[in-house]
Structure 1
């Protein structure tokens, strides 16, 4: 019986590793047919945002990437929290940076309706262990802490599963993180509303070769949008969360209005192949129907 249990645990571990390896392989193939789905703060509709439970539920849905937010405590610990203050999402009040990890661990996370739950604030290490072998993780708000995050990823054996990002120009990224840049997946954030957007993209390709670009646009009139398919070196990430991030082609247009043509399909037609969404289950179903997701 003991040998059988050991075998089943090993089989489960190998299966998980194969699962995330397939996602990583797709992520590194910008010209692949597969469109990757990123769950915004995990499955926050069914569990508190940025919680371990929200991550596990998103994994169970079949998403490729879970987007999480990194903050730092008074005693230098990296935790997962969107806001710099804990008021909205926990039973406490104040700034994350004014609390030690031990004091934050005494609080409870609130759900999407603001009701306290039994879930606690997770550390970066805890969420990476929960994601290990299963899903990639986009570490938002982590630019200031890339070196510290990298140390946690090395400790947990999850360096390959993490995506870092920032909106700094390529020269600054090189200056700030030359030592680790070639060891991580880095995504450059570029606003297409800026006049120099195309040059910013080209500079990044030349100088730091980001694995992906996160493109943000309030208006869908940027000339760059007509040439996205020419950016073959990197995956193209778009946020379908609310109108100001995607020129009005957003999740709830698909969900509430049933207008997929002018929301997700519009984004797909432009050439975006990673979509961050607040409606992961519905988006996955649509992509699978189109043969764009396994």
Structure 2
């Protein structure tokens, strides 16, 4: 009888342990020979702080969303495993003033819920499931900003989008998680004076990146150099739907004045048609154009493709 009881206990224990699958998996287990993360966080920070480096930094838009739900913890982990330098994620606030990682103001597109994020509490959001790229529910759930920062801590740089208005709340979490050196906050259509007023002395401990829209800000060049003269940002995000602005030929000057140049290879309105999906068939005409212009940070929807290209050219470790 005792032997039978012992056998049942062992069987029950094994059964339970098999059912408890980890929520985050390492995608490198089967792909170590193709792409791997060779950079330490110190290497990434050194590159970020070197405006004239010829090594091009890769930023993955909403994480590796082709292989995991966008803005999920798994999408961030995939980027770490791929060797991406920085992951871009989006921040929203819940009804009970908690910061979560989700792009849209509404839940409908990316989750099994409906309505505005700001009308739900964190506990209620945690009952939802994230959808994959085909719109099907997965086992992944909406992460908090704290969870996202902790999984990235010491492994990858983080760009927080849609976070400017929540900066004070976000800064507390950034400090508590010990990730101040890893986080880049960006803002658009803000003067230097706006940024200095909004961030105050926190500008000394966080990385702020202005977004410069060459189509909408006709005095873009003077805005750029006003920033460089007064707060010396480590990078500028440059947005353009046409490739006619003289600023596109002055990236060397921007870098020599102390700031890296970030562009988005996502879709046409951000890059005049030099986009990832066209790079699938002709990498040199798209990614090569950025290289020739002197860009040294690229945000992409195809991180594995861009990494492979840059590594083939000796432009990424």
Task: Decide: shared fold, TM above 0.5.
Answer: yes
Partner of 1:92: 113
Which stretches of structure 1, 4 residues or longer, exceed 3 Å deviation after superposition?
Answer: none
Partner of 2:195: 173
Write the mapping of 1:48-197 to structure 2, written as runs, cut at 5 A: 48-167=69-188, 168-193=190-215, 194-197=217-220
User: Rg bigger for which structure?
Assistant: 2
Distance 2:104 2:156 in 1: 24
Q: Which of residues 274, 279, 287 in structure 2 aligns to 1:264?
A: 287
Number of positions where the alignment pairs a residue of Structure 1 with one of Structure 2: 277
Q: More deviation in 263-272 or 43-52?
A: 263-272
Cα distance per residue 1:242-290 (max 9 Å; x no partner)? 01101111111111xx222321111111111000001100100110110
2:64 matched to 1:40?
A: no
Distance 2:142 2:42 in 1: 28
Partner of 2:272: 247
Q: Secondary structure at the match of 1:253?
A: helix
Q: Over the residues paired in the alignment, what is the CA RMSD in angstroms?
A: 1.3
Cα distance per residue 1:38-95 (max 9 Å; x no partner)? 0110010110000000000111111000000000001110100000111100000010
Residue 230 of structure 1, CA deviation: 0.7
Q: More deviation in 202-211 or 158-167?
A: 202-211
Distance 1:96 1:78 in 2: 10
Partner of 1:217: 240
Q: Secondary structure at the match of 1:206?
A: helix
Q: Secondary structure at the match of 1:179?
A: helix
Contact conserved, 1:171 with 1:207, CA < 8 A, in 2? no
Partner of 2:297: 274
2:283 matched to 1:289?
A: no
Q: Secondary structure at the match of 1:272?
A: coil
Distance 2:55 2:251 in 1: 16
Residue 29 of structure 1, CA deviation: 0.6
Distance 1:226 1:44 in 2: 32
Distance 2:147 2:276 in 1: 29
Distance 1:207 1:41 in 2: 31
Partner of 1:8: none
Distance 2:312 2:285 in 1: 17
Partner of 1:4: none
Distance 1:203 1:262 in 2: 33
Distance 1:261 1:287 in 2: 10
Distance 1:129 1:269 in 2: 36
Q: Secondary structure at the match of 1:237?
A: strand
Cα distance per residue 1:147-190 (max 9 Å; x no partner)? 21111111111111101000112111111111311110110000
Partner of 1:227: 250
Q: Secondary structure at the match of 2:316?
A: coil
TM-score by length of 1: 0.92
